[in-house]
Chain A
Amino acid sequence: GESVGLHLPTLSVQEGDNSIINCAYSNSASDYFIWYKQESGKGPQFIIDIRSNMDKRQGQRVTVLLNKTVKHLSLQIAATQPGDSAVYFCAESRGYGNKLVFGAGTILRVKS
């Protein structure tokens, strides 16, 4: 598949289990954080976002947690499904123009 040759962290989970993908960000001045999902051959797709005045936000089957003290962001996916298999990116937004700075990405593989 497309992930062959990629040296990104990989998380393998069984279908139905919960997944947790972690991300460390670099700039304590960043005030907006986003998780994107990228499937093979497609552009990054918005999943969920959170502003720095919050520490938790929930969506449908997804939860984002923000720990500003240690500059850490996590994405929790409940009841992971095969369709969740993709590369997941965290991004932080800083500065004029809301430039996004992306993390390295994590491959999520869901086993049926």
Chain B
Amino acid sequence: DTAVSQTPKYLVTQMGNDKSIKCEQNLGHDTMYWYKQDSKKFLKIMFSYNNKELIINETVPNRFSPKSPDKAHLNLHINSLELGDSAVYFCASRKGTDTQYFGPGTRLTVL
């Protein structure tokens, strides 16, 4: 299937832990994004990479570090997790000036 995929779908962890979320797209897109959706369904961009280069970095705590090993992957590593990090994290990708296509989301719960 051609798609944007994320792993894991659910992630439950304790405060203070470090965790990673992975994203892969096989659509041949050159730009990838991470968005955060809070409990009120508000979606906000966090990061964007174009051809492995960081092009958007919103005001996100530096505990969050994106990593793009190649054009098809954009991973999100989070250090020292806090309660407020609980949210659904979406990866998206885009080719050129086309629209963005979203992955299924990763629901992160910090206890």
Contacts and interface: CB of A to CB of B under 8 A. Distances in A.
B48 A97 contact: yes
Nearest to B55: A97
Interface in A83-103: 87, 89, 96-102
A105 B41 contact: yes
A38 B105 CA distance: 11
Contacts of A98: 31, 94, 97, 100
Nearest to B90: A43
B43 A89 contact: yes
Nearest to A5: B39
Contacts of A87: 41
B43 A44 contact: yes
Task: Indicate the member of A6, A32, A38, A87 with the most B CB atoms within 10 Å.
Answer: A38
B99 A45 contact: no
Given A46-B101, A100-B35, 18 more contacts: A6-B40, A6-B41, A7-B40, A8-B40, A32-B97, A38-B41, A42-B104, A43-B92, A44-B43, A46-B100, A87-B41, A97-B50, A97-B55, A98-B94, A99-B56, A100-B33, A100-B43, A102-B43
